[in-house]
Structure 1
């Protein structure tokens, strides 16, 4: 057996030990482990909407999902399908939907951006922090609705002659001409009755949906006409809970991006003609 001289060992042992240190399994243990990515099919969005009919958005007056559920539900189904998100629908009174979003027991609802909701909602934003209207769920316009034989246009232009506008109690104030006098009533139906009976000059009604002129079906049976352009426009956003967005930030952005691509404007208009 050949003899290995001590001088040979002393010369090459440090090099050998360095090589062994590099290839030892312990060095591999320091490499960061890949982060598990949850696939889209594993994500479920629990969406809450009101248990009262609100056409064209929601159909049916119960806690059950109607066979023809409303244009907003059809739109949401298309967007979640396009992004591979499972969808669970829940119908509750509106305030309970808001509370569920606040305590993270539900994941999403459709609402406007309001200051009091900012601390518990997440919605699509521009780089400057403003709401991204291009990724809004829907847009609506409100017009003044008046009797066809009421010269309300002249009253508005006069700036000095007052005119009355009936609006349902609980609705948020919207900008009005300076000579408008707001009359609070208990319902939209009551507001229309006052207009038809000439006891007030006007009320506000839906007249635009997603950039298209729109008219609720029952107005065709009344001596009412809508005054364009809309006096007010607003946007509804897919509001996500803080918990859902923190779990699925990229998926949330994909879902918001899918909304304008899956919007069927004609379907919203078709639901306005539903009579039951």
Structure 2
């Protein structure tokens, strides 16, 4: 079986990927388990995410770890499929985009539509999947803030009605800094699956191997011990999710 190279974002995306390869994220742990079981060497390199994508497009890198199946990434990579649809059962993991409101607010989200929403929803600048999720739900996104903390402050200041962020990023931040001021709405805005996606060049040469590797991800994923953000002793970088 062929060995291959795979890139991750060079910014921490805790607990999913971590550029400190001696302290890997959950998706890296799944990759390690699969590679070990199959007797394959996977060389993981941490790159700026845009360079990771361009290296995948050019074939300099064979795969990316933690890519979302969106139109942009479909142009340059191959995802596991079931029929004509991406196969979520063979993803590396999922991340839930959650909404946060002021504790005193009557704004809500019931899983299908917003209730009493009058102002925009704050999202971190450049987080394309999150922006798409908010706007697909017929809300206006405010993309002025670079971090979750900036957007939580904007929420507390009554400049927006809600803010959106990844569940793992938000939990510790809210508990540490804003426990009485804001509340996370239990119903997720969207649950996004993230994948090992191969470059089109690599997949054209090794399509059978790709299927074997994806199938092993599905078999191993739930048996690999997972880690939470508190295991890493570092701050997640929310903008690491840009273009995923």
CA offset digits 1:184-242 (Å, max 9, x no partner): 2231231122123333221112238xxxxx96322211233211211112211211012
* 2:238 paired residue number: none
Bigger relative contact order, structure 1 or 2 (CA pairs below 8 A, ≥6 apart): 2
TM-score (norm 2): 0.80
Alpha-carbon distance between aligned partners in 2 of 1:51 and 1:244, rounded to the nearest angstrom: 22
Whether 2:78 is the aligned partner of 1:118: answer no
Asked if the contact 1:165–1:182 (Cα under 8 Å) also holds between the matched residues in 2, the reply is yes
Asked if the contact 1:217–1:273 (Cα under 8 Å) also holds between the matched residues in 2, the reply is no
Whether 2:48 is the aligned partner of 1:48: answer no
CA offset digits 1:75-116 (Å, max 9, x no partner): 111121122211101111011101111111111103112223
Q: Number of aligned pairs?
A: 222
Q: For residue 81 of structure 1, give the secondary structure of its aligned residue in structure 2.
A: helix
Q: For residue 111 of structure 1, give the secondary structure of its aligned residue in structure 2.
A: strand
Give 5+ residue unaligned stretches, structure 1: 1-39, 209-213
* Alpha carbons of structure 1 residues 266 and 135: separation in structure 2 relative to 1, 3 Å: closer
* 1:274 paired residue number: 232
**Which of 250, 256, 262 does residue 220 from structure 2 map onto?**
262
Asked if the contact 1:216–1:273 (Cα under 8 Å) also holds between the matched residues in 2, the reply is no
Asked if the contact 1:216–1:272 (Cα under 8 Å) also holds between the matched residues in 2, the reply is no
**Which of 194, 200, 203 does residue 160 from structure 2 map onto?**
200
* 1:157 paired residue number: 115
* 1:234 paired residue number: 192
Alpha-carbon distance between aligned partners in 2 of 1:227 and 1:135, rounded to the nearest angstrom: 28
Asked if the contact 1:70–1:271 (Cα under 8 Å) also holds between the matched residues in 2, the reply is no
Deviation at 1:260, TM superposition (A): 2.1
Alpha-carbon distance between aligned partners in 2 of 1:77 and 1:242, rounded to the nearest angstrom: 22
Q: Which is worse superposed, 115-124 or 134-143?
A: 115-124
* Alpha carbons of structure 1 residues 79 and 232: separation in structure 2 relative to 1, 3 Å: same
1:1-276 aligned at under 5 Å gives the runs: 40=1, 43-60=2-19, 65-109=20-64, 110-127=66-83, 129-153=84-108, 156-158=114-116, 162-172=118-128, 173-175=132-134, 177-178=137-138, 180-188=139-147, 189-207=149-167, 216-221=171-176, 222-223=178-179, 224-264=182-222, 267-271=225-229, 274-276=232-234
Asked if the contact 2:35–2:41 (Cα under 8 Å) also holds between the matched residues in 1, the reply is yes
Q: For residue 18 of structure 2, give the secondary structure of its aligned residue in structure 1.
A: coil
Alpha-carbon distance between aligned partners in 2 of 1:50 and 1:107, rounded to the nearest angstrom: 15
* Alpha carbons of structure 1 residues 265 and 55: separation in structure 2 relative to 1, 3 Å: farther
Alpha-carbon distance between aligned partners in 1 of 2:72 and 2:160, rounded to the nearest angstrom: 33
Alpha-carbon RMSD: 2.5
Give 5+ residue unaligned stretches, structure 2: 235-244
CA offset digits 1:125-184 (Å, max 9, x no partner): 112x211111112122211112222222399434xx513311122222214554x44222
